[in-house]
Amino acid sequence: MYRPNSRTMFYLFLAAMSAVFLVAPLAVADEPAKKAKADPCQWRELFDGKTLDGWKAIKFGGEGKVKVQEGSIVLGTGEPMTGIVWSGNFPKTDYEVTLDGMKTEGNDFFATATFPVGDCFCSFVTGGWAGTVIGLSSIDFNDASENATTGFKSFDKKRWYHFRIRVTKAKIECWIDDQKVVDFVTTGHKISIRFECDPCRPFGVSSYMTEGRLRNIRIRQLKSEEAAAIAAETPKEKE
């Protein structure tokens, strides 16, 4: 039987140690890449376009069917509501979220997002009250149809709209396509949601007696300097 001598054993030992030292730097070098992927200030997809991973269909009672079809989430017509809620972690402030929504059937809201505002929650209504009301529900217990954020917009069927919501400690801002439609300073105001939207917390999207489709749902945390700049330019409201 062959037995390696001491010199052979020495060379084998050197070869093994060399392999260890060569692999170790590669593992260390891979760490920054992993950290970069986890950067909360980078846009992160909440919908993969194929499955409902990370989402739960809400049991409102009378809800329509929720399914993925042709790269979008379909919220079937409910009696009255249908919706989905995110099951993972979600920030409370200093973040922005975007999504595309389309109304395919019905005449009420089709992509209303409910989201955190600090320890409270709020909803950005998209085409409520028979199809044209936009705004925040609720401000000082007043619905989107009767507070300082109330607006009106017609939404065409089978057309995608891009919604963007930005929440900071200073205010709530909302856009439809490239137009800012809400710029509300929250200081001194009570932020809340209608009880029907309670199951949408912490972040959810719902429709009301209307079939809607959703896609491109994304989120990112704001950088500290971004949040500071918004706070600095926000006028102080009298409490």
Mean pLDDT score of the chain: 90
Please check the confidence at residue 39 and state whether its pLDDT lies above 60.
yes
The percentage of the chain sitting over the pLDDT mark of 70, rounded to a whole number, equals 83
Note whether 129 and 152 are within 8 A (CB): no
- Tell me the whole-structure pTM to 2 decimals: 0.84
User: For the chain, how long is the longest CA-to-CA vector?
Assistant: 93
pLDDT of residue 23: 46
Report which of residues 9 and 188 the model is more confident about.
188
pLDDT of residue 38: 75
pLDDT of residue 235: 85
Please check the confidence at residue 236 and state whether its pLDDT lies above 90.
no
Q: What is the DSSP string of the chain?
A: -----HHHHHHHHHHHHHHHHHHHHHHHHHHHHHHHHT-TTS-EES--SS--TTEEE---SS---EEEETTEEEE---SSEEEEEE-S---SSSEEEEEEEEEEEESS-S-EEEEEETTEEEEEEEEETTTTEEEEE-BTTB-TTSSTT-EE----BT-EEEEEEEE-SSEEEEEETTEEEEEEE-TT--B---GGGGGG-SSEEEEESEEEEEEEEEEEEPPHHHHHHHHHHSPPPP-
Please check the confidence at residue 89 and state whether its pLDDT lies above 90.
yes
Please check the confidence at residue 26 and state whether its pLDDT lies above 90.
no
Please check the confidence at residue 32 and state whether its pLDDT lies above 60.
no
Note whether 174 and 150 are within 8 A (CB): no
pLDDT of residue 3: 57
Return the amino acid letter for 2. Answer: Y
In this prediction, residues 93-97 reach a mean pLDDT of: 98
Report which of residues 200 and 37 the model is more confident about.
200
The percentage of the chain sitting over the pLDDT mark of 90, rounded to a whole number, equals 82
What is the pLDDT confidence band of residue 183, given thresholds at 50, 70 and 90? very high
